[in-house]
């Protein structure tokens, strides 16, 4: 599963910190303008167990509940994990805080671990702040794969397709974004194609789960155009 790790960037970040813990909340906006043209793969192997993944900021959309993204050991493999058991329309976010992109292919491996209200998760891109971004995600409880946009904190479903991927199984999710054209794939099968002009500029990339969805992520890979 492990590939390589390329992570070199220089950017400035404005963070709203609301406790002594590694938590960021409020309107989380990144102001760095560093756009890389290099392939980037983050495999979390250099991360410290039970610590926030280096180079990422944890935040959320919705009234603050819990933020709990950590590096965990998954059968000898270090992965990023969303561990908080929140509820309702609360979106757990882990955002890569020093690189932004406009057109790219973005891939991640993810595994749904638990969740009674929600399971699974997915990718965030063209992220402006924690209230404005695109999402695609799969949910083993609902047996579907969906594409959304979030504008001013309000999520709107754009496309939904059926899929049958079980809890506890690693899945490869891929997003291709070029101009206003979007395609979303699971395990190499293109399942969603869309055109949307809501977010036209480069933005940040990240990981997403909803409510109590405990999910593992690995091999976060970006290929910019």
Lowest mean pLDDT, pick from 94-98, 175-179, 217-221: 94-98
Q: What value does the mean pLDDT take over residues 57-74?
A: 96
CATH superfamily for domain 40-224: Exo-inulinase; domain 1 (2.60.120.560)
**What average pLDDT does the chain have?**
87
How far apart CA 1 and CA 164 sit, in angstroms, is 22
Confidence band of 29 (pLDDT split at 50, 70, 90): low
Confidence band of 204 (pLDDT split at 50, 70, 90): very high
In Å, how far are 98, 156, 198, 221 from 40, measured between CA atoms?
12, 30, 26, 6
Q: What value does the mean pLDDT take over residues 94-118?
A: 94
Tell me the percentage of the chain whose pLDDT exceeds 70: 84
Tokens standing for residue 24: 């960021």
Instruction: Report which of 88, 124, 97, 129 is spatially closest to residue 108, judged by C-alpha positions.
Output: 124
4-37 CB burial, b ≥16 within 10 A, e <16:
eeeeebeeeeeeeeeeeeebbbeebbbebeeebe
Confidence band of 26 (pLDDT split at 50, 70, 90): low
What global pTM score does this model have? Answer: 0.86
Could you tell me the residue ranges of all domains in the chain?
40-224
Between 97 and 178, name the one with better pLDDT. Answer: 178
């Amino acid at each position: 599963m492990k590939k390589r790790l390329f992570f070199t960037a220089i950017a400035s970040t404005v963070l709203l910190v609301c406790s002594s813990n590694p938590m960021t909340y409020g309107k989380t906006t990144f102001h760095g303008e560093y756009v890389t043209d290099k392939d980037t793969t983050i495999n979390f192997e250099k991360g410290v167990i039970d610590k926030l993944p280096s180079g990422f900021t944890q935040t959320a959309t919705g009234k603050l509940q819990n933020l709990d993204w950590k590096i965990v050991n998954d059968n000898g493999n270090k992965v990023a994990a969303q561990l908080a058991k929140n509820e309702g329309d609360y979106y757990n976010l882990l955002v890569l805080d020093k690189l932004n992109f406009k057109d790219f292919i973005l891939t991640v491996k993810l595994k749904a671990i638990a969740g009674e209200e929600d399971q699974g998760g997915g990718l965030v891109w063209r992220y402006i702040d924690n209230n404005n971004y695109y999402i695609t995600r799969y949910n083993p409880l609902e047996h579907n794969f969906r594409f959304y946009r979030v504008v001013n904190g309000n999520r709107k479903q754009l496309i939904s397709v059926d899929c049958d991927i079980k809890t506890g199984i690693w899945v490869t999710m891929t997003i291709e974004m070029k101009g206003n054209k979007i395609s979303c794939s699971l395990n190499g099968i293109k399942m969603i194609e869309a055109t949307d002009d809501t977010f036209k500029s480069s933005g940040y990339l990240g990981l997403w789960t909803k409510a109590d969805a405990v999910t593992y992520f690995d091999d976060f890979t970006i290929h910019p155009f």
